[in-house]
């Protein structure tokens, strides 16, 4: 069971607050992820829900501090890459991008002296060993992630989506240069992180959303040209330095790319967005790829069933997904994605109760 074991298997602060109250606990809600407004669950909640996965979060780098500003109707901040984010002050649920630092760049020459963040900045790893040893004492599996987007996601964020989509066609040298920089950040991060705690981390979490509801965000050809070789380099780099399994998070309709993920060295695919095209038949996915991949997520649909279904509908969905994905092992139960703010606590507990009832191996 995973609730809160990463920033893609977490729970929004509002849903967490409602769940704690439902369970008779009045808790403050510290955040583990500002942009997504994800709660950092307390030990009491984790124990109550029998969660088996704990996250190890790096610290902010030296030389950069979070500065949240009041911009009238919104709260804003600029991250260490220079991407600007904003969230409404009234009833805001998440931060959204409003500024892209490379949006006005006209060619690769302008990036010669660009101040890319340092993935190996020592501030990220200060105290990390002590945290990892404390988590290891719990007996739970430990995950860790760089706490920023994947190599392709980050390129979109830096350049802006419209610009980067154009660049894929008209300026491949610029695309390659930006992707090389985002890849280098990840390589530098994992080199230092695994030197520090590689013997204690069980799962290395990486991200790159490649699909949307009905198709791929970039064509399979573009993925194989620009991203796949860099994924392979990154994932092999991690495996050469630790025993950690490589976890790739990508939402959407990515069925076409699953064989490519396996070729790059992915051990764990997260999630299975069962509401996306080609992803609903979890039995087929298990039959085709279950001998090569662990499926982490896909336990219940987070777009429709979990927020909008009855508790019985939630239980039926959980039962179906466990029946499809659990046989033979290689399935970690979690919802498709982070539990969103409109999910009632009754449905979260229905999900959990169904997992308890149907999720035991015999």
Q: Please give the structure tokens belonging to residue 208.
A: 């790159």
Q: Where are the domains of the chain?
A: 48-65+102-358
In angstroms, the Cα distances linking 14 to 4, 9, 66, 288, 350 are: 14, 15, 22, 38, 18
What is the per-residue pLDDT across 185-218, written as a single tens digit (0 to 9) for each? 999 999 999 999 999 999 999 999 999 999 999 9
A 10 A CB-CB count for 150 gives 25
A 10 A CB-CB count for 35 gives 18
**CATH 2.60.120.260 matches 48-65+102-358:** no
Q: What is the pLDDT of residue 360?
A: 86
Q: What is the pLDDT of residue 68?
A: 97
Q: What's the chain's Rg over C-alpha atoms?
A: 20
Q: What is the pLDDT along the chain (362 residues), one digit of tens a residue?
A: 999 999 999 999 999 999 999 999 987 899 999 999 999 999 999 999 999 999 999 999 999 999 999 999 999 999 999 999 999 999 999 999 999 999 999 999 999 999 999 999 999 999 999 999 999 999 999 999 998 999 999 999 999 999 999 999 999 999 999 999 999 999 999 999 999 999 999 999 999 999 999 999 999 999 999 999 999 999 999 999 999 999 999 999 999 999 999 999 999 999 999 999 999 999 999 999 999 999 999 999 999 999 999 999 999 999 999 999 999 999 999 999 999 999 999 999 999 999 999 998 77
């Amino acid at each position: 069971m995973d609730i809160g074991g990463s920033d893609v298997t977490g729970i929004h602060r509002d849903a967490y607050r409602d769940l704690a109250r439902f369970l008779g606990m009045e808790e403050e809600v510290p955040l583990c992820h500002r942009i997504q407004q994800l709660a950092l669950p307390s030990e009491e909640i984790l124990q109550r829900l029998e969660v088996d996965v704990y996250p190890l979060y790096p610290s902010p780098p030296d030389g950069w501090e979070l500065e949240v500003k009041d911009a009238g109707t919104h709260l804003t901040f600029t991250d260490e890459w220079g991407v600007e984010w904003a969230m409404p002050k009234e009833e805001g649920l998440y931060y959204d991008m409003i500024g892209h630092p490379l949006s006005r760049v006209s060619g690769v020459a302008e990036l010669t002296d660009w101040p890319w963040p340092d993935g190996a900045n020592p501030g990220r790893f200060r105290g990390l060993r002590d945290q990892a040893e404390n988590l290891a004492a719990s007996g739970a599996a430990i995950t860790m992630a760089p706490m920023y987007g994947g190599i392709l996601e980050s390129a979109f964020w830096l350049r802006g989506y419209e610009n980067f989509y154009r660049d894929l066609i008209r300026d491949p040298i610029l695309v390659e240069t930006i992707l090389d920089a985002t890849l280098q950040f990840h390589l530098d991060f994992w080199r230092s992180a695994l030197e520090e705690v590689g013997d204690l981390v069980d799962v290395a979490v990486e991200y790159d959303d490649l699909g949307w509801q009905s198709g791929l965000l970039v064509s399979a050809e573009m993925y194989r040209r620009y991203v796949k070789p860099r994924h392979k380099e990154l994932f092999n780099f991690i495996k050469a330095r630790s025993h950690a399994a490589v976890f790739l998070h990508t939402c959407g309709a990515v069925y076409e790319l699953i064989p490519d993920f396996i070729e790059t060295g992915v051990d764990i695919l997260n999630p299975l967005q069962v509401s996306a095209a080609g992803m609903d038949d979890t039995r087929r996915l298990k039959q085709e790829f279950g001998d090569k991949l662990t499926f982490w997520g896909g336990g219940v649909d987070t777009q429709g069933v979990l927020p909008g279904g009855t508790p019985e509908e939630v239980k039926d969905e959980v039962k179906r997904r466990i029946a499809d994905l659990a046989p033979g092992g290689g399935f970690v139960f979690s919802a498709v994605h982070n539990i969103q703010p409109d999910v009632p606590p009754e449905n979260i507990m229905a999900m959990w109760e169904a997992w308890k009832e149907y999720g035991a191996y015999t």
